[in-house]
Structure 1
Amino acid sequence: MKISILVVEDEHAIQELIAINLSLSGYKVIRANDAEIALSILRETLPDMLLVDWMLPGQSGIQLIRVLRSHPHTKALPIMMLTVRSERQDKLLALESGADDYMTKPFSPREMIARVQAVLFKTAAKSATDTFPDSRAQQ
């Protein structure tokens, strides 16, 4: 089964660029134009990862991440922020709000894919560590 990624991006051309590159890399892409649509999708299905823009109509990407981190169903969902905001304090705010990675626009599609893979790998490794019995505990 393909890994699914929800892309929350309001600019159609950027959303299309992201979706094409993710699809070509073998991912199933789900799209949302804003946080409200993303939350609606998340009520129905849980993707393997989210790519979120900061500046969305209505609720911002930061607000969306905070909502997702506060809910048990989506608390551990891997999230990468992809935004034009490039100031150090913006990056820190996003990471402190719960983003697993942060990438600025304009971006290299190849770097985006590499970062997606890295976030998914870290999440899988953490999940395996969380469920794997500690051998020291048995000694």
Structure 2
Amino acid sequence: MPLDERIVGYLDQVGLYGTARIGFIGINWHLITALVERWRPKIHTFHFSVGEMTITLQDVQIILGLPVDGLPLTGIVEQDYDALCLGQLGFSFPENSKGGRIPIRQLSTWFPNLPNFVNDEEVQRYARAYIL
């Protein structure tokens, strides 16, 4: 989904605008393979010739610009997913979804580009879809 200027305020409000600014990041499979080979699962670190390194939550916060303060979200969700999807996105829950998952291709079909003349509620739905 393209990042429309009208949803930027909503992304910023929930603390995800920094992540949206990153854009698409290509995967370097050679780098991933090299890191996997150097991962030590018993001590949760990468072992390099110059020493050991681990990735912390603060690293993720700084790189992605994500907020990490506040209480964690935990618990069991007992929702009518169809009603939730209809209320938040304006569409009924897809029949082929499993366990409350919405296929990304389905989202891009529902939300191709934000039309020019829409109300604020529709802009919020596009922002929610963008976050997903």
The higher relative CO (CA closer than 8 Å, separation ≥ 6) is in 2
Higher helix share: 1
> Normalized against structure 1, the TM-score is what?
0.24
Larger radius of gyration: 2
Higher strand share: 1
